[in-house]
Amino acid sequence: MLGYRSDPETCRYLPFEPQTADDVDRFLTTRAARPVLDSPDSSVPLGVALPHGGPLVGDVIVFVRSRPDECVELGWIIAAEHRGQGYAAEAAEALLAFAFDEVQAHRVVARMDPGNAASASVAERLGMRREALLIEAERIKGEWVDTLYYVLLEREWRASHP
């Protein structure tokens, strides 16, 4: 995990700077140690590993954005040397099933920097639709940045996964 979370290129579009061993340890002992979806910003993070006991190549996460609105958010991060092989889409597809079947989400969003074409491609591969581009909507790493939203509703998911 430290290998990819400390890589500046991998963290380019993420809301955090490249992480240190202490940062990764803190993530593993706080957010990852309490995988529940019981309040806003609670989350379930999962590792993405290669088949047959292979190494960890990334992680995915599902966050509660609004419990009353039944809205959750997905995120993914994959090590540079393993991108473009379908791991993010495969893991995120499993998270969509979890979000709709277990969490009973009505709406799933994926937020990203508009320059992150690879993440937009993953969202589109999942059947998510581009819903909004918010201009200077968030302050990330000390700068105001635009945010691109992809969305999938439960009824859309069910129609494509009978």
The domain spans of the chain are 2-160
Q: What is the pLDDT of residues 48-72, one digit of tens each?
A: 999 898 999 999 999 988 777 889 9
CA 90 to chain CA centroid, Å, is 12
CB atoms within 10 A of CB 87: 20
d(CA 141, CA 46): 24
- Architecture of domain 2-160 in CATH? 3-Layer(aba) Sandwich (3.40)
Residue, of 39 and 142, whose pLDDT is higher: 142
- Cα(117)–Cα(68) distance, rounded to whole angstroms? 31
Strand segments, DSSP code E, in 16-106 are 43-49, 56-66, 71-78
3-state percent breakdown (helix, strand, coil) of the chain, nearest 5: 30, 35, 35
pTM for this entry = 0.91
The stretch 132-159 carries a mean pLDDT of 96
Integer CA distances (angstroms), 157 to 84, 96, 141, in order: 23, 8, 33
pLDDT for the residue 36: 83
Which two tokens mark 132? 């909004």
The one-letter code for the residue type at 68 is: P
